[in-house]
């Protein structure tokens, strides 16, 4: 899909409405992790360098359409100023006159867009009002691009629009992984439930060469093949669906890689007594908590042959040792191959980022998306309203 970037826009003397994601964690009125703030700095700096005036639009928390003092973006202002190295003008109720009156080179932060009930309804009146504040719209919030809100989709249809640097990086990475990837493509999909990832699995089997299934989901697929998984986390009502996905994969020429050996324990706690058994030999009183070394070797072989990797979800109960071994081993190998320039690796989703950070592998992945829901919907093959509106 063709979308414009900041490079395509003349911003001299223009007010650039910039949708950002600064929905950061806060404790006792202080920002505890400014990753999302750091990620929008290139866009703000580029707008300023091109002679534009950035007016930041963002949401914070879930105020449900009414002002909630503890969800005011004022809380984020000091951290934003510290990261930018300059003052930020905070505006509660913006007007074009007030924006025009601020000095050249100013950065303006508008109060939480979700304080208005019109935002999440994508009310044309609010989109019209936002459009009246600026000359150009720049969307740098990929993480909110799956929502058709006034500040993500509505306003984009009313002003010349482009993607910010973070949005551009995210879309380029995803295009490289799923749009026109170098083959073979391997997808690692883990996590607890098949039911939450049906659309994802259905889309991936038609697009990738090998699909590695891990975590609790793998237990459902093993159960679908008539294997007794003991007390393991599994969705026994989804076994028919799992078989359908396997049939679809076979028809599409996609190999599904399930555990051939598993690490089992009787209790779910760190350092619990555990043993490795063949995947079809889980004791009736035990639960599968990780993939075993033979499975890790098969995944390693698939990764070594791959050119592109898409990763969503851990391969086992990565939060506690020693059930993080399969996730850590696969993540480290993917990181090594990426660092050596042999693999394009794109990962996303909450647990995924945590698992890759824990494995010390995140820094070497080609791209890690922090977008959560938007990343998943893109992988499911769905059109994202906030991206479509930039076309």
Domains in the chain, CATH or no CATH each = 6-168 (3.40.50.1260), 181-379 (3.40.50.1260)
Q: Give pLDDT tens digits for 120-164.
A: 999 999 999 999 999 999 999 999 999 999 999 999 999 999 999
| pLDDT of 178 | 83
Residue 98's nearest CA partner among 108, 88, 84 is 108
Q: Which run of H or of E encompasses 101?
A: helix 96-101
Q: Quick check: 362 and 348 in contact, CB under 8 A?
A: no
C-alpha dihedral over 356, 359, 364, 367, to 10 degrees?
0
Q: Residue 333: which of 350, 351, 315, 317 has the closest Cα?
A: 315
Mean pLDDT of 300-312: 97
105 is catalytic: no
Q: What is the DSSP string of 13-78?
A: T-EEEEE------EETTEES--HHHHHHHHHHHHHHHTT-EEEEE---S--TTS--GGG-GGGTHH
Which of 14, 193, 339, 358 is an active site residue?
Answer: 193
In the residue annotation, 157 being an active-site residue is answered as: no
Give catalytic status of residue 154 as yes or no: no
> Which position among 13, 30, 301, 350 bears the catalytic label?
350
350 is catalytic: yes
pTM: predicted TM-score of the whole model, two decimal places: 0.85
Of 19, 36, 114, 165, the active-site residue reads 36
DSSP state of 87: -
Average pLDDT value for residue range 95-121: 97
Residue of 61, 65, 372, 373 marked catalytic = 373
pLDDT in tens, 168-217: 999 998 888 888 899 999 999 998 899 999 899 999 999 999 999 999 99
Report the pLDDT value the prediction gives residue 198, as an integer from 0 to 100: 87
| Residue 1: predicted pLDDT | 58
């Amino acid at each position: 899909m063709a979308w414009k970037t900041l490079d395509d826009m003349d911003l001299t003397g223009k007010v650039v409405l910039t949708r950002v994601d600064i929905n950061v964690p806060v404790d006792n009125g202080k920002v505890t992790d400014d990753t999302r703030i750091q990620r929008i700095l290139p866009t703000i700096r580029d707008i300023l360098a091109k002679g534009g005036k950035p007016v930041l639009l963002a949401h914070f928390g879930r105020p449900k359409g009414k002002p909630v003092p503890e969800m005011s973006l004022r809380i984020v202002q000091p951290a934003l100023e510290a990261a930018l190295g300059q003052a930020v003008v905070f505006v509660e109720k913006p007007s074009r006159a007030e924006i025009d009156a601020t000095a050249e080179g100013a950065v303006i932060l508008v109060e939480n867009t979700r304080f208005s009930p019109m935002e999440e309804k994508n009310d044309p009146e609010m989109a019209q009002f936002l459009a009246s504040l600026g000359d150009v719209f720049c969307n740098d919030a990929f993480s909110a691009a799956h929502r058709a809100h006034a500040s993500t989709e509505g306003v984009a249809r009313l002003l010349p629009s482009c993607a910010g640097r973070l949005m551009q990086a995210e879309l380029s990475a995803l295009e490289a992984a799923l749009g026109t990837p170098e083959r073979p493509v391997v997808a690692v999909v883990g996590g607890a439930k098949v039911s939450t990832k049906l659309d994802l699995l259905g889309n991936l089997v038609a697009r990738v060469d090998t699909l590695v299934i891990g975590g609790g989901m793998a237990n459902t697929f093993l159960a679908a093949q008539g294997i007794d998984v003991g007390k393991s986390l599994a969705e026994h009502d989804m076994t028919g669906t799992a078989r359908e996905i396997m049939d679809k994969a076979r028809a599409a020429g996609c190999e599904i890689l399930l555990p051939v050996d598993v690490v089992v324990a009787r209790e779910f706690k760190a350092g619990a007594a555990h043993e490795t058994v063949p995947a079809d030999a889980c004791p009736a009183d035990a639960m599968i908590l990780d993939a075993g070394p033979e499975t890790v070797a098969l995944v390693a072989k698939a990764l070594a042959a791959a050119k592109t990797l898409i990763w969503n979800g851990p391969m086992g109960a990565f939060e506690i040792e020693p059930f993080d071994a399969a996730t850590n081993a696969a993540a480290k190998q993917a990181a090594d191959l990426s660092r050596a320039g042999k693999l394009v690796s794109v990962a996303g989703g909450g647990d995924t980022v945590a698992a890759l950070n824990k494995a010390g592998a995140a820094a070497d992945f080609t791209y890690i998306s922090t977008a959560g829901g938007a990343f998943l919907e893109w992988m499911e093959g769905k059109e994202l309203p906030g991206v479509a509106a930039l076309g």
